[in-house]
């Protein structure tokens, strides 16, 4: 099998020492114009490319970061990862991508292989359980930035959106349109993202004095199928909800599917509001009203923040703090037409 040319071969070809060749190719130290030319020519002649592995062993730097998220397949993560990659590419970093599928086992596994591969930094969206290994890594073993969710007891910069605010706004929108039986399909309970969105839901209801009914709360797992099942359960109730707040993109898919199957019209028979704003949100019938997160930006920032840690720019305290981005409500048609202010639901008590 073919073997790549080495610095040594360049040096021989150029008739200089190995160290000399290294200096001009690495562009450091002193060297004369003439040797520079000799080395460069030799390098080109034999098609030399540096061996990054050897360099890494020496410098202890790989210019690689590991990214561990739940599932590249969902819109939120795809765009977030694209953000990371774009920024990383420009900075000369490669990114190794892993999907945990929300399984702590996978998280643990990937985290350790990533660490063994000497990545310079890690961008992680932690699963629900067993963060012991993550915490261990965070104790100075490798720079880490969290995205989307924090972990209790882990002091690591986190880039995320204000989920509670997003959910609050969504549910308020529903209330303003006259809804008072608002169901919610949450994500996995315990995951910060879910809990915050649920909190926003609850806060909105409480503020307007709308009764909070346990039967209207369904726990999903962030995935389509379970949301579909949950929606069906909701529809089997004696008094069905007048609106459903679905806490992420794959789950809205499931919900809409269930609604379609049951022949219900949106929003006439039941309103739907989602979280995450994928391209297809404008194409549904009717177009989906939803909370939009700046996922691409989160990716960009996440990379900036690991890079800051890697480069040790800790002087800038900014890079040690969390950043919490504001989501925005994108109003389309799946909740019906917005009523005038004076037409808000009578149940509203706090002005």
**Residues of this chain that bind DNA (CB under 7 A):** 3-4, 6-8, 16-20, 22-23, 25-26, 28-35, 48-51, 54-55, 57-60
Q: Is 267 in the site for a copy of itself (CB under 8 A)?
A: no
**All residues at 6 or more sequence positions from 332 whose CB lies less than 8 Å from its CB, including other chains:** 281, 282, 286, 287, 288, 289, 290
Q: Which stretch binds a copy of itself (CB under 8 A): 170-178, 189-197, 232-240, 252-260?
A: 252-260
Rounded CA gap, 160 and 301, in Å?
10
Q: State the nearest-atom distance from the C-beta of 41 to DNA, in Å.
A: 14
From residue 206, give the alpha-carbon distance in Å to each of 68, 99, 211, 273.
Answer: 37, 37, 7, 19
Judged by beta carbon distances under 5 to 8 A according to partner kind, the member of DNA, a copy of itself, none in contact with residue 273 is: none
Residue 115 or 217: the one with the smaller Cβ distance to a copy of itself is: 115
Q: What token pair was written down for 66?
A: 């590991």
Coil, helix or strand at residue 145: strand
Task: Give the number of other CB atoms < 10 A from CB of residue 44.
Answer: 10
Q: Which stretch binds a copy of itself (CB under 8 A): 95-103, 158-166, 208-216, 336-344?
A: 95-103
Coil, helix or strand at residue 233: helix
Q: Candidates 45, 141, 313, 320: give the one binding a copy of itself (CB under 8 A).
A: 141
Q: Is 49 in the site for a copy of itself (CB under 8 A)?
A: yes
Q: Is 246 in the site for a copy of itself (CB under 8 A)?
A: no
Q: State the nearest-atom distance from the C-beta of 109 to a copy of itself, in Å.
A: 8
Q: State the virtual CA torsion across 333, 334, 337, 342 in degrees, nearest 10.
A: -140
Q: State the nearest-atom distance from the C-beta of 93 to DNA, in Å.
A: 16
Task: Please give the sequence-ordered ranges of beta strands (E in DSSP) within 190-278, or none if there are none.
Answer: 217-219, 243-246, 271-275
Where on the chain is the footprint of a copy of itself (CB under 8 A)? 1-2, 4, 49-54, 56-57, 62, 64, 71-73, 78-79, 81-82, 85-86, 89, 92, 94-99, 110, 112-118, 140-141, 224, 250, 253, 256-257, 278-280, 282-286
């Amino acid at each position: 099998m073919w073997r790549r040319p080495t610095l040594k071969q360049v040096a021989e070809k150029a008739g200089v020492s190995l160290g000399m060749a290294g200096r001009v190719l690495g562009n450091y130290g002193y060297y004369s114009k003439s040797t520079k030319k000799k080395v460069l020519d030799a390098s080109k002649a034999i098609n030399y490319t540096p061996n990054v592995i050897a360099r890494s062993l020496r410098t202890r730097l790989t210019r690689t970061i590991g990214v561990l998220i739940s599932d590249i397949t969902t819109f939120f993560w795809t765009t977030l990862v694209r953000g990371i990659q774009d920024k990383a590419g420009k900075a000369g970093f490669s990114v190794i991508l892993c999907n945990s599928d929300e399984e702590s086992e996978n998280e643990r596994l990937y985290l350790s292989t990533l660490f063994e591969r000497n990545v310079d930094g890690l961008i992680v969206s932690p699963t629900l359980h067993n963060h012991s290994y993550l915490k261990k890594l965070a104790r100075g073993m490798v720079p880490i930035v969290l995205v989307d969710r924090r972990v209790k007891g882990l002091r690591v910069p986190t880039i995320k959106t204000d989920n509670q605010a997003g959910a609050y706004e969504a549910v308020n929108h529903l209330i303003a349109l006259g809804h008072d039986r608002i169901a919610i399909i949450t994500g996995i309970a315990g995951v910060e993202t879910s809990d915050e969105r649920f909190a926003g839901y609850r806060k909105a209801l409480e503020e307007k004095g709308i009764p909070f009914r346990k039967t209207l709360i369904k726990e999903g797992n962030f995935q389509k199928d379970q949301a579909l099942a949950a929606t069906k359960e909701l529809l089997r109730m004696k008094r069905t909800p007048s609106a459903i707040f679905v806490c992420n993109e794959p789950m809205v898919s499931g919900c809409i599917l269930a609604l379609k199957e049951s022949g219900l019209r949106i929003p006439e028979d039941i309103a739907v509001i989602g979280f995450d704003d994928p391209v297809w949100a404008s194409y549904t019938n009717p177009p989906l009203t939803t909370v939009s997160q700046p996922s691409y930006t989160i990716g960009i920032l996440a990379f900036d923040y690991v890079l800051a840690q890697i480069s040790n720019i800790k002087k800038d305290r900014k890079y040690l703090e969390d950043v919490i981005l504001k989501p925005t409500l994108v109003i389309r048609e799946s909740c019906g037409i917005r009523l005038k202010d004076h037409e808000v639901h009578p149940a509203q008590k706090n002005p």
